[in-house]
Structure 1
């Protein structure tokens, strides 16, 4: 019997980002939601187009990044930047623009209050809208009930509790971003191509590892005699 075979990595493929994202993928909702957001009402500083120099990123691109991170529990600007390069969903969402870590992190630092309002608006809309009738959705590790559940009949006490919960969750996420951005180190393998070339030129010396293990065992046995 033969193993299931993949395709050649050098084989040409004709496809688009649109083809890669299913109609019911959550990124389509994020994209639609951000398109309706009024930046000025939330307090975001709207970037003006520059006539000279390198153009800036559209503010709404960062909103999409952070909402995606919020839904998927990605609590680090560096990790969000990495997803822009390897995650087909974010590539679709951003039309394949790829902001670096510093741009993503600086946006959060420049707009803490507005981002807080954005998350609260987003979660409130998901919890109260009729988009998820009869089901629950995951939001940053928590579950939100559908609008048509029995608990959807709000009085003022429930509304206050509901808003306090949203406030706590959004602040928790922003605090996690702040802490991770400050403390995060980069445990990444550097000079990938050089290391691949080294693997090609030098066989892995498993026999050396095995001999070293045997030597350690012999030394250990002598110690306990």
Structure 2
């Protein structure tokens, strides 16, 4: 005869362990959090409330609240209200906080008021990883990902959104006015009067909305990037990889170690583009690792001539593909890469074997450009595959050799882009999975940076515990 597994009687007396210590095993990650925070000099890091006041109500030591937050981000519990509940029911949290149970406002205020110090705690753990030799190879992959803010799409206004919404209102007003004219031509009745009142009320509301949008549009035009967010004023509308999709949020940049996939450096920006981030992120990573030279791999979204040159001048070797900006290849015509440059003679050789000589130099958008062409194009047999103009001209940047070195490295190491993808996309996926559907809970850039630092610290903690083990990690923290 089949039976179900039966549970215990709820009225039966139970003998629990006498102390919380018996509930937390030696290999429990919560012990790592406890040791790590206890070994930090919180006053030096800038935490408020390390030294209690002599008067007033006793306060919680910042170490208690810091441990609580690190535990929360390690276990995908970011809300201050949820952390408050965990402190009263979770045995691990009771052990970690010594049965202290702060209220949600105290918990939330700690994160809000100690942002810079919390970000330093994240940086200190990266320093520990460096001392442990986990960054033996000075090689990282850099990438950016869009994280959602608490600002809804309907509470963000760009030029395109504003025009679209105003056009919708004008269309609705025109439709209601047409219906109002039709109602005026009908015989007088109670139903006709009610319809006219209803349409008049709708038109009045739409006119009020138009006035509100016009006022918002003036505020929008005063912003440097011509967009405005009402809930989180720092959040920005950004395009994502999905066609026609976008997100109102922040662009998180990360430099990830190619060996152990640890996040070496990160930054939260309000720019939706990665084009100006390569050099700053590379220099930041180089400073964190304390190395003289650094190898960086990134995707084509970071390709900018000035940024690559800045990296070279900072002893950073970058590998990334160049985006195809010309449509000639799609049209079956030759592109610049089909022309061979001869450095010793400072000339280009075209696919037909003709020599394109240097003629003059000019400046465009701050770049010094050299111009090359030949007068043999008119009689060339394959001119139709090259250009529709009188002659094909080639432009060369004065530091073009830097870009050629980048392309050469990519040709010699075709697996670099796969390494980049396998290195940096996994951490972003893990961070977003832990942070949930609405990634950031706080408003404003400075607070979002604090949230990101806690999320990165939790990610790195998990990685190092998996790499070297909980026991060795705690011994290294005490050393």
Contact kept, 8 Å, 1:44 with 1:114, in 2: the verdict is yes
Alignment of 1:119-158 (within 5 A): 119-122=122-125, 125=128, 127-128=129-130, 130=132, 147=134, 152-155=135-138, 158=140
Instruction: Indicate yes or no: 2:266 matched with 1:168.
Output: yes
Q: Distance in 1 between matches of 2:268 and 2:77?
A: 13
| 1:5 paired residue number | 7
| 2:106 paired residue number | 103
Q: Distance in 1 between matches of 2:84 and 2:113?
A: 17
Q: Secondary structure at the match of 2:101?
A: coil
| 1:116 paired residue number | 119
Alignment of 1:164-203 (within 5 A): 165-168=263-266, 176-179=440-443
Name the CA shift for 1:66/1:177 in 2 (closer, same or farther; >3 Å): farther
Name the CA shift for 1:17/1:59 in 2 (closer, same or farther; >3 Å): same
Q: How far did 1:121 drift?
A: 2.4
Q: Secondary structure at the match of 1:168?
A: strand
Gaps (5+ residues) in structure 2? Answer: 143-254, 270-430, 448-479
Q: How far did 1:51 drift?
A: 4.1
Contact kept, 8 Å, 2:86 with 2:93, in 1: the verdict is yes
Q: Distance in 1 between matches of 2:256 and 2:45?
A: 20
Q: Secondary structure at the match of 2:266?
A: helix
Q: Distance in 1 between matches of 2:60 and 2:105?
A: 13
Q: Secondary structure at the match of 1:154?
A: coil
Higher share in strand: 2
Q: Secondary structure at the match of 1:178?
A: coil
Contact kept, 8 Å, 1:119 with 1:170, in 2: the verdict is no
Question: CA deviation digits over 1:23-50, x for unaligned, max 9?
Answer: 1000001000011001123211233334
Q: Paired residue for 1:47, among 50, 64, 68?
A: 50
Contact kept, 8 Å, 2:69 with 2:78, in 1: the verdict is no
Q: Distance in 2 between matches of 1:169 and 1:91?
A: 33
Instruction: Indicate yes or no: 2:76 matched with 1:65.
Output: no
Q: Secondary structure at the match of 2:57?
A: coil
Name the CA shift for 1:4/1:57 in 2 (closer, same or farther; >3 Å): same
Contact kept, 8 Å, 1:75 with 1:176, in 2: the verdict is no
Report the more deviating stretch, 102-111 or 9-18: 9-18
| 1:135 paired residue number | none
Q: Distance in 1 between matches of 2:89 and 2:126?
A: 26
Contact kept, 8 Å, 2:84 with 2:104, in 1: the verdict is yes
Gaps (5+ residues) in structure 1? Answer: 131-145, 182-225
Q: How far did 1:56 drift?
A: 0.5
| 1:32 paired residue number | 35
Higher share in helix: 1
Q: Distance in 2 between matches of 1:169 and 1:71?
A: 20
Question: CA deviation digits over 1:152-205, x for unaligned, max 9?
Answer: 4232x63993499455389987x82415x9xxxxxxxxxxxxxxxxxxxxxxxx
Q: Distance in 2 between matches of 1:32 and 1:62?
A: 14
- The alignment's TM-score, normalised by the length of structure 2, stands at 0.29
Contact kept, 8 Å, 1:77 with 1:101, in 2: the verdict is yes
Contact kept, 8 Å, 1:69 with 1:75, in 2: the verdict is yes
Q: Distance in 2 between matches of 1:170 and 1:17?
A: 39
Question: CA deviation digits over 1:191-221, x for unaligned, max 9?
Answer: xxxxxxxxxxxxxxxxxxxxxxxxxxxxxxx
Q: How far did 1:70 drift?
A: 2.0
Name the CA shift for 1:52/1:153 in 2 (closer, same or farther; >3 Å): closer
Q: Distance in 2 between matches of 1:52 and 1:41?
A: 24
